[in-house]
C-alpha cells in the first residue's frame, strides 16, 4: 500500500490585478517524490511553489500537510538580513536534532568556508549559501526554485549528484533541461492557471505537451465548426417549434461562451537578430597568446582560430577567466605575450552578465530606445517599441514599467531584445539562458541556428551548449584552454571527465582550506618570532578598507562595461576599463588571500 502524501494542494486559485494567475491548480507530494514543475515564464510556477511552502495565501485552496512534515523552500532571492556569516545563515535551516556539521560540509562542498559576509556575496555565492541552508536539515520536502541559476558547471554537477542521494521529496523549477531530465520521475505542468501531471520525467514532457496542444487545437476547430453551423441555423432555420428553438439558441450562447473563455497558450517570442554586413573570413586568430594578473595565469600559450560562421562555446568554472578570454578574442584586451589578430569589418554585439543597464528607475521603453522616442531601429527599419516588445512576449502596458519590477526572465528577455536590435556579424553571449523559460530557450536556439554571423557563447547550460555550439573551448586550469569538436556531451566523450572547480583564487576547495587551517595550527605552536610584526598588524588593519575600495571600483567598472555600445563608440575606453577591471579583480583576490593568512596567524596567537 502506497504511503499517504506528505502535502496536498487542491483547487488553488489566485488572481493578480484582475487576471487569474492560477485557477484550478493541484499539487500532491508523496514521500520520495521526484517531480519537476514546468511552465512558461509568468505562468505562476514560483507562486504555486510558495503556496505549497505556506509562504503565500491564495484566494482559494485546500492545503493539507501531514503532521510533523518538514518543508524547506529555496527562494530565488534569499534574505540574508540579520546574519553575520554564511555559516550562520546555513545553520539557521537546522532544527534541534539535525546534524550541526552538515551545514559546514555543504558550504565547503560548494566552495565557501562559512566566514563570508552574506551582504557582500556575488550572485553565485548567494545561491550556494541558500542551497546549503535548504539542504542542511535534509527535510521531508525540498522545494527548489531555479537551483542552478548563477552556478558554474562543477557546482551544478555536484548539486545533481547530491540531490540524487537525498531522501527528501523534490519539487524542482529549472530551465536546465539536463538537470531536470537527470532528477525527475514525474512532471507537473502549470499552463493557463491549471496543472496537469504525467508520471514520467522531463525527458518525456515536451512530446506529451505538443500532443496535448495538437489535440486542443483539433477540439477548438470542432467547436468553431459547430458554432458556425448553429449560427447558420439561427439565420436561416428558425422555423421549427418555439421551445426547441429557444433551447437551441441557448445552447448556441453556451458554445460561444466556451469559445470566448478558451484561453489559448501564451504566444511565442519572435527572436530575430539584426544582421550587419558580412565580416571577413577570419574573425580572430590567437598565436601563443598569454595573459596573467600578478602570479595568476588566465590564459597561457593559447593558439586558436575563429572563422566566420563558427559557433564557439567557452566552458569553465567561475573564476577561470572566461570573460578575460572573450576580451582577448574580441580585441578589447591586449595579451601579455603572443600575437592576437582580428578580422575585418567586425560588427560586434555583446550581451554580458553584468546587467547593470537594467538597474535604476529606467522603464522598459527607455532601455530599448536609449530614452529617445517610442521607436527602435531593427534590421535597418524603424519599429514602434510596443510592437517590438510583443515579439518578446511583453504586454503593451509593460512598455512604461520600471525594469526594477520585472521578473528575472522578463529582464533577460529585455536584454536579449536590446542586443538583437543592434546590427551585428559577431554575437558574444555571456550566460544568455539565465531565467528564460524552455520555449524561449528553444526559440533562442533556433535564432542562433539561423544567424549568419559568428557566435561566441559562454554558458553553464549543458543542453544549450549541445544544441548550439560547434566547438567547445574548455579551461584545463593554470591558464590552459583546450578546444574540442562538438558540444558539451562530445567534449565529455573526448575528455573523459567534466569541468573541475577552480583550485585557486577565492573559491578554494575544502582540501586547500584544510591546509590553510593546518598552517594556522602550526603557527600557534611556533616560536614567538613568528608573531605578527608592526608591519603585518598595520596591513591586517588596513586591508579591509582597501578591499572595500576595490569592490566599489569593480562595481563602477562593471557598470561602465555594461554599456553595449561602448566598444563601437570608444574602443580605447572599453579596452582601458576592461584592463582595469581585470587588474582590480586580481588585486582583490590577492588582498583577500593575504588578509586570510594574516587573520589566521593572529588567531593562532590567541588574539
Q: Report d(CA 68, CA 86) in Å as an integer.
A: 28
* First CA to last CA distance, the chain: 61
Q: Report d(CA 338, CA 288) in Å as an integer.
A: 5
Q: What is the mean pLDDT of residues 362-369?
A: 85
How many C-beta neighbours within 10 Å does residue 536 have? Answer: 15
The answer to whether the 7-207 and 282-495 domains have the same CATH topology is: yes
Which three cell numbers mark 197? 501531471
What pLDDT is attached to residue 447? Answer: 82
Q: Torsion-angle region of residue 379: left (phi > 0), alpha (psi -120 to 50) or beta?
A: left
CA distance readout (Å), 344 to 275, 284, 330: 16, 9, 12
User: What's the pLDDT band for 261 if we cut at 50, 70, 90?
Assistant: low
Domain ranges across the chain: 7-207, 282-495, 510-604
Domain 7-207: which CATH number of 3.40.50.150, 3.40.50.300, 3.40.630.10, 2.60.40.1260: 3.40.50.300
Q: Chain-wide mean pLDDT for the chain?
A: 81
Q: Report d(CA 457, CA 430) in Å as an integer.
A: 6
Give me the residues paired with residue 34 across strands.
Answer: 170
Q: What is the mean pLDDT of residues 448-455?
A: 87
Q: Report d(CA 14, CA 25) in Å as an integer.
A: 10
What pLDDT is attached to residue 525? Answer: 42
Q: What is the mean pLDDT of residues 183-208?
A: 92
Which three cell numbers mark 345? 569589418
User: What's the pLDDT band for 502 if we cut at 50, 70, 90?
Assistant: low
Percentage of the chain beyond pLDDT 90 is 33
CATH code for 282-495?
3.40.50.300
Give the DSSP letter of residue 440.
H
Max Cα–Cα distance, the chain, nearest Å: 113
What pLDDT is attached to residue 607? Answer: 52
User: What's the pLDDT band for 545 if we cut at 50, 70, 90?
Assistant: confident
Q: Report d(CA 150, CA 124) in Å as an integer.
A: 5
What pLDDT is attached to residue 195? Answer: 94
Give every CB contact of residue 79 below 8 A, 6+ residues apart in sequence: none
What pLDDT is attached to residue 356? Answer: 56
Closest CA to 541 of 551, 550, 532: 532
User: What's the pLDDT band for 519 if we cut at 50, 70, 90?
Assistant: very low
Least confident segment among 277-291, 488-502, 584-598:
584-598
Which three cell numbers mark 559? 557598470
What pLDDT is attached to residue 421? Answer: 82
What pLDDT is attached to residue 31? Answer: 94
Tell which wins on pLDDT, 123 or 200.
200
CA distance readout (Å), 255 to 222, 226, 227, 228: 11, 8, 7, 10
22-55 residue pLDDT tens = 988 999 999 999 999 998 877 889 999 999 999 9
Give the DSSP letter of residue 402.
B
Decide: residue 203, CB within 10 A, 0-12 exposed, 13-18 middle, 19+ buried.
middle
> Do residues 25 and 194 lie in contact, with contact meaning Cβ atoms separated by under 8 Å?
yes
Q: Report d(CA 20, CA 524) in Å as an integer.
A: 64
User: What's the pLDDT band for 10 if we cut at 50, 70, 90?
Assistant: very high
- Measured in residues, the chain has a length of 607
Give every CB contact of residue 251 below 8 A, 6+ residues apart in sequence: 230
Give every CB contact of residue 109 below 8 A, 6+ residues apart in sequence: 158, 162, 510
Residue 515 has pLDDT above 80, yes or no: no
Least confident segment among 48-57, 112-121, 256-265, 422-431:
256-265
Look at the block and give the residue holding cell 538580513. Answer: 81
273-332 residue pLDDT tens = 666 667 788 999 999 999 998 888 899 999 999 999 999 999 988 878 888 899 899 988
What is the CATH architecture assignment of 510-604? Orthogonal Bundle (1.10)
Report DSSP letters for 235-246, one per residue. Answer: HH-TTS-HHHHH
User: What's the pLDDT band for 516 if we cut at 50, 70, 90?
Assistant: very low
- Quote the strand ranges of 326-402, DSSP E: 337-342, 348-351, 375-378, 381-384
Amino acid at each position: 500500500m502506497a504511503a499517504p502524501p506528505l502535502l496536498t494542494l487542491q483547487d488553488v486559485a489566485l488572481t493578480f490585478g484582475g487576471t487569474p494567475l492560477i485557477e484550478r491548480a493541484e499539487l500532491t507530494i508523496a514521500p520520495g517524490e521526484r517531480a519537476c514543475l514546468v511552465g512558461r515564464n509568468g505562468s505562476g510556477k514560483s507562486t504555486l511553489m510558495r503556496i505549497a511552502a505556506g509562504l503565500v495565501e491564495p484566494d482559494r485552496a485546500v492545503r493539507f500537510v501531514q503532521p510533523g512534515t518538514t518543508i524547506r523552500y529555496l527562494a530565488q532571492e534569499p534574505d540574508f538580513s540579520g546574519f553575520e556569516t554564511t555559516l550562520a545563515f546555513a545553520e539557521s535551516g537546522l532544527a534541534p536534532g539535525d546534524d550541526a556539521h552538515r551545514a559546514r560540509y555543504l558550504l565547503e562542498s560548494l566552495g565557501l568556508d562559512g566566514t563570508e559576509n552574506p551582504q557582500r556575496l556575488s550572485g553565485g555565492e548567494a545561491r550556494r549559501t541558500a542551497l546549503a541552508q535548504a539542504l542542511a536539515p535534509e527535510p521531508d520536502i525540498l522545494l527548489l526554485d531555479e537551483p542552478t541559476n548563477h552556478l558554474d558547471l562543477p557546482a551544478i554537477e555536484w548539486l545533481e549528484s547530491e540531490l540524487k542521494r537525498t531522501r527528501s521529496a523534490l519539487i524542482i523549477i529549472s530551465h536546465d533541461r539536463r538537470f531536470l531530465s537527470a532528477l525527475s520521475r514525474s512532471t507537473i505542468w502549470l499552463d493557463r492557471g491549471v496543472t496537469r501531471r504525467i508520471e514520467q520525467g522531463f525527458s518525456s514532457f515536451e512530446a506529451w505537451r505538443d500532443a496535448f496542444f495538437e489535440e486542443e487545437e483539433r477540439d477548438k476547430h470542432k467547436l468553431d465548426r459547430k458554432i458556425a453551423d448553429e449560427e447558420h441555423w439561427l439565420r436561416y432555420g428558425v422555423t421549427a417549434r418555439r421551445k426547441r428553438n429557444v433551447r437551441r439558441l441557448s445552447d448556441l450562447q453556451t458554445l460561444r461562451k466556451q469559445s470566448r473563455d478558451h484561453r489559448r497558450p501564451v504566444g511565442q517570442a519572435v527572436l530575430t537578430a539584426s544582421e550587419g554586413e558580412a565580416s571577413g573570413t577570419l574573425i580572430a586568430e590567437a598565436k601563443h597568446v598569454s595573459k596573467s594578473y600578478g602570479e595568476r595565469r588566465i590564459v597561457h600559450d593559447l593558439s586558436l582560430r575563429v572563422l566566420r560562421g563558427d559557433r564557439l562555446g567557452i566552458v569553465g568554472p567561475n573564476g577561470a577567466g572566461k570573460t578575460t578570454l572573450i576580451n582577448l578574442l574580441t580585441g578589447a584586451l591586449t595579451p601579455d605575450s603572443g600575437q592576437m589578430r582580428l578580422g575585418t569589418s567586425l560588427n560586434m554585439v555583446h550581451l554580458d552578465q553584468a546587467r547593470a543597464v537594467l538597474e535604476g528607475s529606467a522603464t522598459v521603453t527607455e532601455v530599448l530606445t536609449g530614452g529617445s522616442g517610442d521607436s527602435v531601429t531593427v534590421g535597418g527599419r524603424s519599429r514602434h517599441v510596443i510592437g517590438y516588445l510583443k515579439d518578446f512576449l511583453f504586454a503593451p502596458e509593460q512598455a512604461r514599467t520600471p525594469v526594477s519590477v520585472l521578473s528575472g526572465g522578463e529582464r533577460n528577455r529585455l536584454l536579449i531584445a536590446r542586443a538583437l536590435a543592434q546590427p551585428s556579424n559577431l554575437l558574444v553571449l555571456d550566460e544568455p539562458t539565465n531565467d528564460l523559460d524552455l520555449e524561449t530557450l528553444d526559440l533562442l536556439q533556433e535564432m542562433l541556428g539561423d544567424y549568419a554571423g559568428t557566435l561566441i557563447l559562454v554558458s553553464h547550460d549543458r543542453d544549450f551548449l549541445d544544441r548550439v555550439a560547434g566547438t567547445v573551448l574548455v579551461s584545463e586550469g593554470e591558464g590552459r584552454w583546450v578546444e574540442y569538436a562538438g558540444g558539451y556531451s562530445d567534449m565529455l566523450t573526448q575528455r573523459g571527465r567534466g569541468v573541475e572547480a577552480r583550485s585557486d583564487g577565492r573559491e578554494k576547495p575544502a582540501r586547500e582550506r584544510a591546509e590553510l587551517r593546518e598552517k594556522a595550527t602550526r603557527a600557534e605552536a611556533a616560536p614567538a618570532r613568528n608573531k605578527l610584526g608592526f608591519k603585518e598588524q598595520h596591513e591586517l588593519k588596513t586591508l579591509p578598507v582597501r578591499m572595500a575600495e576595490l569592490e566599489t571600483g569593480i562595481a563602477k567598472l562593471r557598470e561602465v562595461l555594461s554599456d553595449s555600445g561602448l566598444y563601437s563608440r570608444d574602443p580605447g575606453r572599453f579596452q582601458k576599463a576592461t584592463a582595469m577591471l581585470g587588474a582590480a579583480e586580481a588585486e582583490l583576490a590577492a588582498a583577500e588571500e593575504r588578509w586570510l593568512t594574516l587573520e589566521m596567524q593572529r588567531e593562532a596567537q590567541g588574539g
